[in-house]
Amino acid sequence: MCTGDCAKFIGVSLYPFCALCIVCNILLLFPGWSTDAVNDPQQKLTPEVLYLGGLMGSGLLVLIPAICIQYTGRKGKLNNRIGMLVSIVLAAVAVCGSIYGFVTSLLGLLYGPRCYYTFLNGEKRWTIPFKREKEFLDLERSYLFQRESWSRCAEPVGVVEFNVIFFATIMVASAIQIVLCVIQMVNGLFGFLCGTCQRKFY
């Protein structure tokens, strides 16, 4: 496969993952399919949702380079060595965006959602009950493996499952984006050094 064709394939392949991340991040603004949290985001929304990792990071910061990368693979003024060099820079920007989306989603997954939680002593309040700074990577004690505690999040209904599904989806999509963008960086380097198989544009 020519480096130009590879760039076009990678650019197009990034589109669905960008769209998936954007949609998931938007849905996370409505935990439990409720609109109440949007009216009071500081008190009722999970902080990592407000970082917009899926919307800005793995979404727009990857989508814009993806469009440009696709065009470097099409016959035209961008299908040359300089276009491939530019695609390396764009792919690097996309990697940064997808890493941002991955990290914010990972934190959202590890810390858990903000919810109206019922503590063992009967106290009820809005908090992030599963967040444990000192046990950040202690997966054995993580709420992810203690599903019996999820039901204590009374509001929004089903918010734990909601957050786990959408944050995990953004993480997986972001990881795939990182791989594709790194491949494009390598492909762009070969395209810059060897050309794009479109000789009249060299």
pLDDT in tens, 60-70: 999 999 998 88
pLDDT for res 19: 97
pLDDT for res 196: 64
In a 3-state reduction of DSSP, which class is residue 29? coil
Task: For residue 105, give the nearest of 23, 61, 163 by alpha carbon.
Answer: 163
Q: Hey, what are 70's tokens?
A: 């696709």
Output the pTM of the full model.
0.88
Structural domains of the chain, count: 1
Q: Which strands form 124-127's sheet, in the order they lie side by side?
A: 124-127, 115-118, 153-155
Q: Please give the angle made by the CA atoms of 122, 145 and 131, to the nearest 5 degrees.
A: 55
Query: What is the domain extent for residue 56?
Result: 3-201
Residue 197 clears pLDDT 60, i.e. is over it: yes
Residue 136 clears pLDDT 60, i.e. is over it: no
In a 3-state reduction of DSSP, which class is residue 118? strand
